[in-house]
Structure 1
């Protein structure tokens, strides 16, 4: 009878093991929920990304720059930050968000998802990402809802970030406005979904750089992101004036950005060089160039804010974000 008892015990052990494996399998399938499919054609996403023909700086992560509202990559980055980063030894990529980043941010974010994946696959290295204004919302939306990106991004630097909504969007949208503006208005469903849970997911090093004199990011506290290293330009250089467009050429904002990209972890003002507050513009940008570029950006913004498709209501949340 001993062999029968042994067989019964073995049968019981097998049944118990199978039950445990079944439960584990259920847990794995629940935690590994599929990510949203990209709705934009791959060819369209690919054509919006501009990178060097070859990546020649293997000692540093490649950098993706994401522009803001009613702008494009050339207007925001092409004359200042991009060439300055190249001079600092970075391979720099840019992405042109659709229709000057006026449509639904959820759609524009797909361009960022594709860009990060494409750069990662081309280099086999993590990507550093830098956003200006609305571009930060696309970046944060991408890493939140496509969590595989959290292992593909090393540093995220937010410049002039409307993280929690701005009064400008709310005021502008008392009449039909561009869809993106409804989404970065105070109290939008988009921002509620973006900021729910962990606003800085994954092992990414987050830095948010803002200015007390930014006329667009009001209140300035909206730029503060829980879990990020939040740095006001004025905490580094008291009395310094940096406007919204000024982030695209300010030397202190640029140095903080480079510091974040060059070190492990977020930016640290303590590593800034002596005399850091004496320079006005980032390397290679003259006062005349900064003035001219600002005029171009502001003029284009005035036309594009009223020239795109408008709506009375905020775009509905995608099913993956609606909960």
Structure 2
């Protein structure tokens, strides 16, 4: 078609086509760039603590965590234990969805800008799933985990291999090679938004090895690094006075605080 045109007209047509192509590319870029850019999660102010949501561990028992919630309430915090679906041995992602609903309800009820979450044992994994995959990182000020098997526990490995019919879904998800934990730990173990604290005990015989509770990017504190002679089992973490004092300290306004031997007496009383 262009061959029959004079050189002047051919140059004009080619120039117009070039202008149209550039314009089309500019429009396409304007449409696609916002879709390809993932906005950073909003950061909740560290200076204004909101309500506290406490998440039970495997089995779903709320008894021990309720004692910790009572301590928080006595200290002036709005504290609620989240009841997990079923008996707490089902899909941890479903439990994370329940936590998300509880957070939304707490924010609506209190008018706060964000929440603090305390996850005990598997409840810490639930809190991480909520933060990383359910939008919780934009709603949480702080996430504190207590003896949580962030990288799996060899106890679950034994259950899955020796008694598979006695190792329900959450048990399988807490094995050291589970797809869920591999996915959760693949990139950033502590997503931006909240500040993260992991409290654990060297005497843990349920979450094994105990150091599996350490979380990359978090403030990691063992009970024994604060009180060297303290003997706290996995099941005692929510009810031990020292651990309760540590949780209160880490949920205070401001950034998470380093704790050590100088704090032993004060936090234990």
User: Structure 1: any 5+ residue segments left out of the alignment?
Assistant: 34-58, 280-323
Q: What is the rounded CA distance, in whole Å, between the counterparts of 1:271 and 1:261 in structure 2? A: 19
* Aligned counterpart in structure 1 of residue 238 of structure 2, from 248, 267, 286: 248
**Structure with greater Cα Rg:** 2
Q: What is the rounded CA distance, in whole Å, between the counterparts of 1:150 and 1:188 in structure 2? A: 23
1:66 to 1:269, Cα distance in 2 relative to 1, 3 A: same
1:116 to 1:277, Cα distance in 2 relative to 1, 3 A: closer
* 2:197 aligned residue: 207
Runs of 4+ in 1 over 6 A off after TM superposition: none
Q: Give the conservation status (yes or no) of the 8 Å contact 2:125–2:149.
A: yes
Is 1:61 aligned with 2:50? yes
Displacement of 1:278 after TM fit? 5.0
Q: What is the rounded CA distance, in whole Å, between the counterparts of 1:274 and 1:235 in structure 2? A: 9
Helix, strand or coil at the partner of 1:99: coil
Q: Give the conservation status (yes or no) of the 8 Å contact 1:68–1:134.
A: yes
1:97 to 1:26, Cα distance in 2 relative to 1, 3 A: same
Q: What is the rounded CA distance, in whole Å, between the counterparts of 1:277 and 1:255 in structure 2? A: 5
Displacement of 1:217 after TM fit? 1.2
* 1:43 aligned residue: none
* 1:287 aligned residue: none
Helix, strand or coil at the partner of 1:202: coil
Q: What is the rounded CA distance, in whole Å, between the counterparts of 1:25 and 1:136 in structure 2? A: 39
Q: What is the rounded CA distance, in whole Å, between the counterparts of 2:244 and 2:268 in structure 1? A: 13
* Aligned counterpart in structure 2 of residue 127 of structure 1, from 92, 95, 115: 115
Deviations 1:127-158 (A, max 9, x none): 000010010111101111123x2121000000
Displacement of 1:25 after TM fit? 2.7
Displacement of 1:22 after TM fit? 2.4
Q: What is the rounded CA distance, in whole Å, between the counterparts of 2:262 and 2:196 in structure 1? A: 18
Is 1:230 aligned with 2:220? yes
Q: For this pair of structures, how many residues does the alignment match? A: 244
Matches within 5 A, 1:79-228: 80-122=67-109, 123-147=111-135, 149-173=136-160, 174-175=162-163, 176=165, 177-228=167-218
Is 1:27 aligned with 2:33? yes
Helix, strand or coil at the partner of 2:236: helix
Is 1:71 aligned with 2:71? no
- Higher mean displacement: 268-277 or 183-192: 268-277
1:105 to 1:204, Cα distance in 2 relative to 1, 3 A: same
Q: What is the rounded CA distance, in whole Å, between the counterparts of 1:162 and 1:185 in structure 2? A: 9
Helix, strand or coil at the partner of 1:100: coil
Q: Give the conservation status (yes or no) of the 8 Å contact 1:162–1:223.
A: yes
Deviations 1:286-307 (A, max 9, x none): xxxxxxxxxxxxxxxxxxxxxx
1:30 to 1:271, Cα distance in 2 relative to 1, 3 A: farther
Give the structure-1-normalised TM-score: 0.69
User: Structure 2: any 5+ residue segments left out of the alignment?
Assistant: 1-11, 40-47
Displacement of 1:30 after TM fit? 3.4
Displacement of 1:124 after TM fit? 3.4
